[in-house]
Every structure is written in C-alpha cells, then in structure tokens.
Amino acid sequence: MRVGIEAITFAVPKFYVDMTELAERRGIDPAKFVHGLGQVEMSVASPCEDTVTLAASAGLKLIQKYNIDPNSISLIVVGTETAVDHSKPISSHVHEILNLSSKCRAFEVKHACYGATAGIAIATDWIMSRRAKGKKALVIASDIARYGANTPGEPTQGAGAVAMLISDEPKLLEFEPNYQGYFSSQVMDFWRPTYSKEAFADGHFSIQCYLNAFAEAYSMYKENFSSEHGEDLQTKIGSRFAADLYHVPFVKMAQKAHQKFTEIEQGKVIEKGMPEYDSFLQDFSSRVAPNLKLNARVGNIYTGSLYLSLFNLLEAKSEELAGKAISMFSYGSGCTAEFFSGIVMPSAKDIIKNISSEEILRSRIKISIERYERLLRESALADYNDADVSNPDHWDVSGPVLYLGTKDHRRQYSMSI
C-alpha cells in the first residue's frame, strides 16, 4: 500500500526582522548570526497571531490551493510545543475554522520539535492499516519559537506553520515506512516550564544531544533497511539519498548534522584541513544547502522546520529529484528522534507550482528592532484574560484568521474566509 504527502504548504506571521540589524542592536558581529548560525531573517508573531491562526492559515491555504474537499479529511493532528491552552487543543479551533467534517479525529501532539512527525507516523499507520478507508489526514506543524531578547537563543527564534495532507495518493512524496529508525533518551537540553512563554535551552549541550540522537536513529534505520534487503551494514546505504533533510533550529545545525552523517558513512571523524572536509562541504552544498533557503528567512519554527525544508526541496528540485529517495531527520529535544525516507513523485513538479514561497514571504513586512522588542513584550501579555493587546488595528495586521484576545476566559478569533 502507498502512503505519503499529497499536498503541502506553509504560513508565516506578518512581520520579520533582519538578522544584521538584530546583531547590530545587540552589539554582536552580524557575521555570527548570518554566517555562524546561517540566519538571514526571522519571522515574528504579533499579539494577534498565535499557533491557532498560523495553523489555520496554513490549513486554509492547503485546502484552497490544492482544491481539497474538507469532507475527505477524517483525522487532523496539530504538532506544537506552543499550546494555547492546557486542555483544549489547537486542533479543535482549526477543525472549526476549516469547516471539517464532525466524523473526524482531532487532537494535538507535543514533543518539542518532534510533534508533527509523531502526527505523520500516526497518520501513516492509520492509512496503512486500511481503517482510513480512503479518507485523508491533515497534519499541521505550528510553533512560535521564543527565547526572549538578549538571550543566546534569540537569533534562533522564528514563527510559522506547515500543513501537510497525508493520504494513499502521495502525489508529492511517497514514504518508505519499512525503514524508519528512532531514538529516545531523557535529557534536559531544551524545555519550557508551564509558567514560561520563553523556552530554556542548554544550547551547546542540545547540539550534542541532537547529533547523538541522529547517529542512533540513523543506525536503527540502517538495521531496518539491511534486514529488508539483506545488505551488509557497512554498505553505504546513505548514498541512495539524492538529498538529505534535517530538523533546522538554525541553518548551521543542518550542516553539523550532515557532517555527522558523512562521518558515519566514512567511518571516521572529519576535520577542517582534511581533503575529506572539502568533499563533505561540496556534498553539503549540493544535497542539503539548497533546501535551507526558507529556514534561513523564516527562522526556527520548531516542529515545522524539517517540513519547511521539505517544501523548499519540492518547490526547487522536484523535477531533478523525481523518482529518487530523500532522507529526513526529525529531532525533538528532551529527547526523541526519527530518521525516515521517501521518494519524490514525478507528479510533484507540476502540483507544487500552485504555491509560491516567494509570494508567501513577500507578503511579510520588515519591522525595526524597537518594534520587534515591543511585540515581544506585548505578546507576553496576550494570553491573559481581558489583556487588550491583541487589537489587529493597533498592530496593522490582517489575515484570514486573527486572535483578538481572551474574553470571559475564552480565546476569541476573527475569521474573514
């Protein structure tokens, strides 16, 4: 049975900041943010945008642009670490806004940046079990990454949502569910206590946790691949991938992950100055870097980061990669991780033309660092009852769905669909 991604799109909030301007304001060499971390711009949510409005905007765009019948969807899962309620899931708001059928499962999944991948795994198994009976699953990754002003994590913030339709008609990407590899271990590398809007991270330790999880998950993938195909583990299974996608908390992290991947393949540590390092950089430039352009301009969108990179690949390289396998690595701090793969479908190149990432990014407005700092301060208040900071006219934001604040302890949304 075939299963995979039939449709994909993304949404970002109205505003962004320029990373050079942010670095200058912080008294840091801009080269650190732009080259050291690989980030050029960073999307910023206003107090009228939350993970419901981002998820709903991405979902609406998917339904409209791909002409999807809402009644064909019988499962909606929203992956997020940026919940808006301790009990009520984002999916229930999105289910209403998208006018989905009541004969539908709707829930939210949390595991840091892994949530949407868990949603995809659930959807894949549901479809493969044949209990979906031709119905489809909508999986939406929606997050607002916040560490706060003047923190080491500040240049690795971002906001956005990626919506994907998972079905037995994988017109864009067909999964290879027999070869997955996963890894879990309790580590305190990144977390967000329930009293805090801002995440805490043990930054450098989190990089090591990510790389260790990558090595372990990839090792399990190789075992599964070998048991299916009877190949020796030492054979270069990795060379079957025409492109490699990673979770992207910041662009340079994908480069570190791809170096780890290359070291595993070659069975040795690679360092700058070695001839192998130059060929690794060449490989990175052709198989990974072209898929990181959107991540460099949107910032970290946590659970959606890997899938933003996938959108980038499908939009830019579908024709070249048609029929070829690509790898994907999803990492959720805390931690759990998954290495999986898929085949780019020949139909992808025509279908993806419906959506232009440039158009989506061009609709954003660049704001000054002073305005960004004000947005951060006021967004911190936006969830309080009667806070009165989420007036769209006040911030000059518009969109199909906006958050209007919490009144009578109920979140209020405006819809102009």
- Do residues 237 and 225 lie in contact, with contact meaning Cβ atoms separated by under 8 Å? yes
Residues of this chain, 136-155, that bind ligand CAA according to CB under 6 A: 152-153, 155
The smaller minimum CB distance to ligand CAA, of residues 35 and 394, is found at 35
Within a 10 A sphere around the Cβ of 71, how many other Cβ atoms?
12
Strand 15-18 with 365-366, pairing: parallel
Q: Does 304 bind ligand CAA (CB under 6 A)?
A: no
Which of the 8 DSSP states describes residue 151? S
- Do residues 107 and 91 lie in contact, with contact meaning Cβ atoms separated by under 8 Å? yes
Q: Does 26 bind ligand CAA (CB under 6 A)?
A: no
Please state whether the peptide bond connecting residue 335 to the residue before it is cis, i.e. omega within 30 degrees of 0. yes
Stretch of residues binding ligand CAA (CB under 6 A), selected from 130-138, 196-204, 319-327, 381-389: 196-204
The smaller minimum CB distance to ligand CAA, of residues 252 and 374, is found at 252
Q: Does 157 bind ligand CAA (CB under 6 A)?
A: no
Q: What is the sign of the dihedral through the CA atoms of 336, 339, 345 and 351?
A: positive
Question: Is 173 strand, coil or helix?
Answer: strand
Q: Does 334 bind ligand CAA (CB under 6 A)?
A: no
Q: How far is the CB of 206 from ligand CAA (least distance, A)?
A: 4
Q: H/E element holding 283?
A: helix 275-287
Q: Does 32 bind ligand CAA (CB under 6 A)?
A: yes
Q: What are phi and psi for residue 241, nearest 5 degrees?
A: -90, 130
The smaller minimum CB distance to ligand CAA, of residues 302 and 311, is found at 302
Q: How far is the CB of 284 from ligand CAA (least distance, A)?
A: 13
Q: Which residue is nearest to ligand CAA (CB)?
A: 36
Among 41, 95, 111, 113, the active-site one is: 113
Contact track, ligand CAA, 214-253, x by CB under 6 A = ---------------------------------x-xx-xx
Stretch of residues binding ligand CAA (CB under 6 A), selected from 166-174, 204-212, 310-318, 390-398: 204-212
- Type of residue numbered 242: A
- Type of residue numbered 265: E
Among 10, 15, 214, 302, binds ligand CAA (CB under 6 A): 302
Strand 401-407 with 365-366, pairing: unpaired
Known active-site residue 209: no
Known active-site residue 247: yes
Among 19, 37, 54, 242, binds ligand CAA (CB under 6 A): 37
Q: Is 393 exposed, middle or buried (0-12, 13-18, 19+ CB in 10 A)?
A: exposed
Q: How far is the CB of 244 from ligand CAA (least distance, A)?
A: 16
Known active-site residue 81: yes
Dist CA 61 CA 44 (whole Å): 20
Classify 75 in phi/psi space as left (phi over 0), alpha (psi -120 to 50) or beta.
beta
Residues that bind ligand CAA (CB under 6 A): 29, 31-32, 35-37, 113, 152-153, 155-156, 189-190, 201, 203-204, 206-207, 210, 247, 249-250, 252-253, 300, 302, 331, 333
